[in-house]
Amino acid sequence: MADAWASAHEATRSADVALAAVPAGGDNRLPPPAMSEPWPVRLLLIAFALGFLGLFVVLPILSVFLEAFGQGLSTYVSRLAQPESLAAIRLTLVTASIAVPLNVVFGVSAAWVVSKYRFPGKSLLVTLIDLPFSVSPVVSGLIYVLMFGRRGVLGPWLEAHGLRIIFATPGIVLATIFVTFPFVAREVLPIMQDQGNDEEEAALTLGAGGWRIFWQVTLPKVKWGILYGVILCNARSMGEFGAVSVVSGHIRGETNTMPLQVEILYNDYDTVGAFALASLLMGLALATLVAKKIIEPRQFRR
């Protein structure tokens, strides 16, 4: 009995020492164990990783900017100032400015419904949210053509009423929304599920209404997830090619977004113009990475 009591006392003392060693701030993650591989193996793995990234990531990025500015800044600006390039930039910005806010509304609403309510078909809704990740963008664009095209299901009715969706801006917006709507929902949903409903229920018992609970309790808890989803959604909206290519019709100066215009300029042997426009998309990608690195620690802490 005495030995058992001593063993229990020693175990309790060891646990107290371990808890005392946890740093302030609540981060109780243990440091990673030391790598057991010899240093030549580690050096070889690091060199392989750096070489792979340099060959397939860094060099292509550098080549884009070198080609874009290869003939000087004035040529670069003049290529971007071409009417068709300006129209592509304008259409891309308009598409993103419509698709991103709508996806934010849908993403937050879907996350709210899935995390706060129980209803039949809940798992089906979650599956449908992930659907664009498994469907080719080209297929999604083709679906809209079959629905809203001239010979589609709703095509004759739309044509009779003078409405044009395919080969016009509405079709581009719809295709972009389809391929980008999961981003915000997929960032907000885990946060709402992990944090539970305790604070909302407490606010409800204190007499707060639904909108007040959402704006003052729920929204502050998920704001970093929303912002993270907006960054990803905006980047995908501006860089989408497959779905937009199917529904746009490639009408120069009207329905070409920046990725489509890059392809057209390259096929027309306007290399400088193509890479000048591609450099804007590359700058957007780099800005997205920087924004992600800024947001990720805040989202993790929340």
If you ran DSSP here, which 8-state letter would residue 38 be given?
Answer: -
Q: How confident is the model at residue 256 (pLDDT cuts 50, 70, 90)?
A: very high
Q: Which long-range contacts (CB under 8 A, 24 or more apart) does 110-116 make?
A: 110/185, 110/189, 111/185, 111/188, 111/189, 111/191, 111/192, 111/222, 112/192, 112/214, 112/218, 114/189, 114/192, 114/193, 115/189, 115/192, 115/193, 116/192, 116/197, 116/200
Domain ranges of the chain: 79-300
Q: Express each pLDDT in 4-27 by its tens digit.
A: 434 444 444 444 444 444 444 444
Looking at residues 226-238, what average pLDDT do you find?
Answer: 89
- pLDDT level of residue 302 (50, 70, 90 thresholds): low
pLDDT tens across 64-101, in order?
A: 999 999 888 999 999 999 999 999 999 999 999 999 99
The pLDDT value recorded for residue 17 is 44
Buried b / exposed e across 157-182, counting CB within 10 Å, b at 16+? ebeeeeeebbbbbbbbbbbbbbbbbb
Convert the pLDDT of each residue in 105-127 to its tens digit: 999 999 888 888 888 888 888 88
Q: For tokens 């706060």, what's the residue?
A: 116
Which tens digit of pLDDT belongs to each residue from 217-229?
888 888 888 888 8
User: Rounded to whole angstroms, how far apart are CA atoms 114 and 100?
Assistant: 21
Q: Note the pLDDT of residue 135.
A: 87
Tokens at 31, concatenated: 């440091």
How confident is the model over 202-213, as a mean pLDDT? 80
Average pLDDT over residues 251-265: 92
pLDDT band at 169 (very low <50, low <70, confident <90, very high): very high
User: What is the reported pTM?
Assistant: 0.79
Q: How many CB atoms lie within 10 A of CB 243?
A: 28
- Is the four-CA dihedral 190, 193, 199, 204 of positive or negative sign? positive
Domain 79-300 matching CATH 1.10.3720.10: the answer reads yes
**168 compared with 9, residue with greater pLDDT:** 168
Can you tell me whether residue 120 is helix, strand or coil? coil
